[in-house]
Amino acid sequence: MTSTVVHLPAPRIPRVRASSGRLQDNPVVGQKRVLLAAPRGYCAGVDRAVVAVEKALERYGAPVYVRKQIVHNIHVVTELEAKGAIFVEEVDEVPEGAHVVFSAHGVSPAVVTAASDRGLHAIDATCPLVTKVHREAVRFARDDFEILLIGHEGHEEVEGTAGEAPDHVTIVNSPDEADTVQVKDPSKVVWLSQTTLSVDETMETVNRLRTRFPELHNPPSDDICYATQNRQVAIKKVAAAADLVIVVGSSNSSNSVRLVEVALEYGAKAAYRVDYAEEVQQEWLDGVETVGVTSGASVPEVLVREVLDALGDAGYRDVEEVKTAEEDLMFSLPKELRHDASGQRDDRALGGRATGGGA
């Protein structure tokens, strides 16, 4: 399977809501139904990052600056902009002394230094699972390992991880690149990966690397995050029974794009990605009895509900949830936001359970 490099920003276009009943209830041979994948939607790291921006706005007032998109979802970004967040590409666009939030995808040490040099008040909303990969890169570089980083060149997460040890990291974009990558010492090579990749394709890349470098070391624990894996496992089960799969998620969301690929690979006759329910096309539903629905790890549940409502207009009112895992991992807020302005501790821990699982 060929990977798509995902690094372009999501298109910033105004949303035009379609009127109710836009999709028609045309007859099909069998019974219309929806298989709703679970887990889906927000993971704990995304929830933590989004709430971090909201709480920073509450605590410090607007504007609060965010380097890159806080998570890869155009709806989330637009909603936060309406509350006073300003998204920038680099920290040199942020006024000196202002508050800036680093996105869930993480940043390199060079970005941290640049923010400090400008006197910025930085709040690190990096997903703790991404931070784990950063620490692995630092550790292996310190031990003079060559690091083969499996991921998409240009993706913010890959840039951040590679920036921890630029002299030790080589990016491997695909299984085919595993056949050509060169290393200096085959006995001191380790692989790490971007957290949002296809599990199957990543392991294909690893296996091809190991064929060439039998002494290839593994990371101490799996780098692909639990939420990415869980959503892929769920859509595999749904896809096997689906004529059509609809994945809710933005075009620059690596894990959302992977869900489309996985659905097609595991039996769906067709699969499409949409940001909003209005993008579902009538012709997609021609002759379709079973529609599978899921969403990427940065997608709020309200967008999934809108898709289900639209499908209901087209006669797909029988919704069955297909649950393959329970998620209860929770992350606390960045340290700067664990107390309110009066100094009172906010004991909330954040996770995606309310928006990513139940029907």
Q: Indicate which residues carry an active-site annotation.
A: 157
Q: Tell me how far apart the alpha carbons of residues 280 and 285 are, in angstroms, rounded to a whole number.
A: 9
Residue 168 marked in a binding site: no
Residue 168 main-chain phi, psi, to 5 deg: -115, -10
| 287 contacts 30 by C-beta, under 8 angstroms | no
| SS3 call for 245 | strand
The annotation status of 254 as a binding-site residue, yes or no, is yes
CB 246 within 8 A of CB 293: yes
Nearest to 201 by CA among 161, 255, 245: 255
In order of 124, 132, 294, the CA distances from 338 in angstroms are 13, 21, 32
The verdict on whether residue 193 carries a ligand-binding annotation is no
72 labelled binding-site residue: yes
Q: Is 256 annotated as a binding residue?
A: no
Q: What is the dihedral of CA 352, 68, 83, 253, to 10 degrees?
A: -40
Residue 73 assigned as binding residue: no
User: Is 7 labeled as ligand-binding?
Assistant: no
Residue 275: enclosing H or E segment and its boundaries? none
Check whether 252 is labelled as a binding-site residue: no
Tokens for 42, please give them.
């927000």
**103 labelled ligand-binding:** no
- C-alpha span between 91 and 89 (Å, rounded): 7
What separation, in Å, do the N-terminal and C-terminal C-alpha atoms of the chain show? 32
**Does 43 belong to an annotated binding site?**
yes
Annotated binding site for dimethylallyl diphosphate: 72, 105, 155, 253-255, 298
Annotated binding site for isopentenyl diphosphate: 72, 105, 155, 253-255, 298
Annotated binding site for [4Fe-4S] cluster: 43, 127, 225
Annotated binding site: 43, 72, 105, 127, 155, 195, 225, 253-255, 298
